Amino acid sequence: MGPLLKILICFYLCTGVQGINQIPWLPCQFTDEHVSMNSEGHIQTDLDHREAMLQFGQKGDAPVNPQAITFLITGSKLDLRKHLEGVEAEELECVLRRYSTEGIHVRWPAQGAQGYNRWYSATLKHSKGLFTVTGFLRQPTDQPPPGQQDYRSWPAIADREILTTTVAMAIKTQTPSVKAGLRSQQKLHCQFDVDHRGPNITVEWHWQHRGERTKLFSHTSRSGQTQGSGVGLKALAGGDASYTLPFTKMSSEGTYICSLSVIPLFTSLDINLQIEEPPRVSINVGPVLTLQDGGEQKVVCEADGYYPLDVEIVWYEQDPAVSNKRVGAPLPKALQNILLSSHKHNQDSTYTVSAFFYLQASLRASGRQFTCSVSHQSLRMPIRKSFILSVEEPSSWVFTLSVGLVFVFLLVVLAVMLQYLHSARKKWIEKKPY
């Protein structure tokens, strides 16, 4: 085998390993909790934010940062990094916490799991809100849990301690925040993984808005009992618990909660759904508005059927001859004499408002372009509607009087001629001998 071929094979293997293990470690914040009873007899929780590392590797690996707490994730059937494909470490926010089983002890049925476990949660969020992942880390131990209020006597973790763990369960959403228009279909993503086959899983969806909480769907794998709709059972068997909203209404707005329970673990993800309906914009004049010098016209720009409430309407004036210039063109002038109507609440809970002004026509303003610009949070760019003003000189009163007199004269002549023809015809009939 030639040296060039060896180099190519080595390069291929190296890039392949790098592609599989895209993120070997992540800097995290370990939010530790110290629970105690205060002087008034109430439970008090003090949070301690500590430096930590989430490190992927094998048991016995040296820590990447010896000065931090290392959560060493060793190999299991569930690889947390598959939920992070195509993402750089700098784009992730990582928070680690202890997890209380509240005294529930169940032997975790994964291969090699023996004795007792200490549990931790790792929440990974994309900095731009593209997804949220929560994984449960299992640390085997021979110490039984202290009881229902185990959070009162958690074992201390040293600043440079290495905690060897495996990922037991994970849940992910690619839609942590959804903006939807009215009458649209939305799929709220929720995906989960468990490190062993045939787990006893309970999946639920709830909707919460303004203090009201409603169960939308529930399924328990052991009993097969299902309540509600919106989640496909075949997809659920493969770990896809996504919920489908077939037709969004204004009442669909709120927080949708996907929860997953595998005893003794329970977790949930919040998905915020916000309705955004863009406005329909119209003006009450055509592309060209023709007025006489000194005339007046009420010009109205209406934004109809938008949600939520806040909308901005601005009228601009500019010379269309220079508006297409890329360099050196003067900025459009915003009109100041604009009046706003009151907001109208439509039957579908959307809003309507108009901005209008009274246009005084003058010859020097002829050819000017007037533009209504409507901005709303549902729009990437403002909607603009424009018209051109055309101003004509008023006709002379002398000319108008002359035309009127000529018209009256012609009517008189026509009447006389008709009377003469009628009289002549009558005489001609009387002279006939028969």
Q: For residue range 399-415, list pLDDT tens digits in order.
A: 567 677 888 888 888 88
Inside any domain, residue 10: no
Mean pLDDT of 175-197: 95
Inside any domain, residue 1: no
Look up tokens 């489908």; give the residue: 244
Could you tell me which residues are beta bridge partners of residue 93?
125
pLDDT of residue 15 exceeding 60, the answer is: no
* Spatial separation of the C-alpha atoms in residues 228 and 131, rounded to whole Å: 26
Could you tell me which residues are beta bridge partners of residue 30?
50, 96
Question: Which of 24-33, 109-118, 262-271 is the least confident region?
Answer: 109-118
Q: What is the pLDDT of residues 416-426, one digit of tens each?
A: 888 877 777 77
pLDDT of residue 12 exceeding 50, the answer is: no
pLDDT at 419: 80
Amino acid, res. 88? E
pLDDT at 406: 81
Mean pLDDT of 351-378: 95
* Spatial separation of the C-alpha atoms in residues 148 and 137, rounded to whole Å: 20
pLDDT at 201: 96
Under the banding of pLDDT at 50, 70 and 90, the label for residue 120 is very high
User: Is residue 271 domain-shared with residue 291, that is, in the same domain?
Assistant: no
Inside any domain, residue 432: no
Under the banding of pLDDT at 50, 70 and 90, the label for residue 7 is very low
User: Is residue 81 domain-shared with residue 124, that is, in the same domain?
Assistant: yes
pLDDT at 17: 37
Q: Give CA separation, 181 vs 251, 252, 275, 310, 407, in Å.
A: 12, 11, 6, 16, 62
User: Is residue 122 domain-shared with residue 240, that is, in the same domain?
Assistant: yes
pLDDT at 34: 87
pLDDT at 329: 66
Number of folded domains in the chain?
Answer: 2
User: Is residue 227 domain-shared with residue 128, that is, in the same domain?
Assistant: yes
Give yes or no for a contact between 94 and 126, defined as CB atoms under 8 angstroms apart.
Answer: no
User: Is residue 110 domain-shared with residue 126, that is, in the same domain?
Assistant: yes
User: Is residue 116 domain-shared with residue 102, that is, in the same domain?
Assistant: yes
Of the candidates 284, 294, 286, which has an alpha carbon nearest to the alpha carbon of residue 391? 294
Peptide bond connecting 264 to the previous residue in cis, omega within 30 degrees of 0: yes
Question: Which of 15-19, 21-25, 62-66, 225-229 is the least confident region?
Answer: 15-19
Mean pLDDT of 104-127: 86
Mean pLDDT of 220-224: 93
User: Is residue 245 domain-shared with residue 305, that is, in the same domain?
Assistant: no
Under the banding of pLDDT at 50, 70 and 90, the label for residue 113 is low
Inside any domain, residue 207: yes
User: Is residue 260 domain-shared with residue 205, that is, in the same domain?
Assistant: yes
Q: Residue 220 contacts by C-beta under 8 Å, 6 or more apart in sequence?
A: 200, 201, 202
- Domain range spanning residue 86? 18-275
Inside any domain, residue 425: no
pLDDT of residue 293 exceeding 50, the answer is: yes
pLDDT at 428: 67
Last residue within a domain, chosen from 372, 392, 412: 392
Report the chain's mean pLDDT, rounded to a whole number.
88
Produce one character per residue of 157-194: b if its CB has 16 or more CB atoms within 10 Å, e if not.
beeeebbbbbbbbbbbbbbbebebebeeebebbbbbbb
Share of the chain above pLDDT 70, in %: 89
Last residue within a domain, chosen from 275, 307, 334: 275
User: Is residue 321 domain-shared with residue 189, that is, in the same domain?
Assistant: no
Higher pLDDT, 109 or 130: 130
User: Is residue 180 domain-shared with residue 115, that is, in the same domain?
Assistant: yes
Inside any domain, residue 141: yes
The pair of structure tokens assigned to 306 is: 């938008």
Inside any domain, residue 125: yes
Give yes or no for a contact between 306 and 278, defined as CB atoms under 8 angstroms apart.
Answer: yes
pLDDT of residue 208 exceeding 60, the answer is: yes
Using CB atoms within 10 A of its CB, is residue 318 exposed (0-12), middle (13-18) or buried (19+)? Answer: middle
Predicted TM-score of the model (pTM): 0.80
Using CB atoms within 10 A of its CB, is residue 147 exposed (0-12), middle (13-18) or buried (19+)? Answer: exposed
Of the candidates 62, 70, 74, 87, which has an alpha carbon nearest to the alpha carbon of residue 30? 70
Using CB atoms within 10 A of its CB, is residue 316 exposed (0-12), middle (13-18) or buried (19+)? Answer: middle
User: Is residue 222 domain-shared with residue 195, that is, in the same domain?
Assistant: yes
Higher pLDDT, 38 or 283: 283
Q: Residue 150 contacts by C-beta under 8 Å, 6 or more apart in sequence?
A: 100, 101, 102, 103
Q: Are strands 351-360 and 296-306 parallel, antiparallel or unpaired?
A: antiparallel
Last residue within a domain, chosen from 208, 241, 275: 275
Residue 415 CB coordination number (10 Å): 10
pLDDT of residue 115 exceeding 80, the answer is: no
CATH number for the domain spanning 34: value is: 2.60.40.10
User: Is residue 238 domain-shared with residue 357, that is, in the same domain?
Assistant: no
Inside any domain, residue 356: yes
Q: Give CA separation, 246 vs 185, 186, 249, 257, 365, in Å.
A: 5, 7, 10, 17, 52
> From the CA atom positions of the chain, what is the Rg in Å?
38
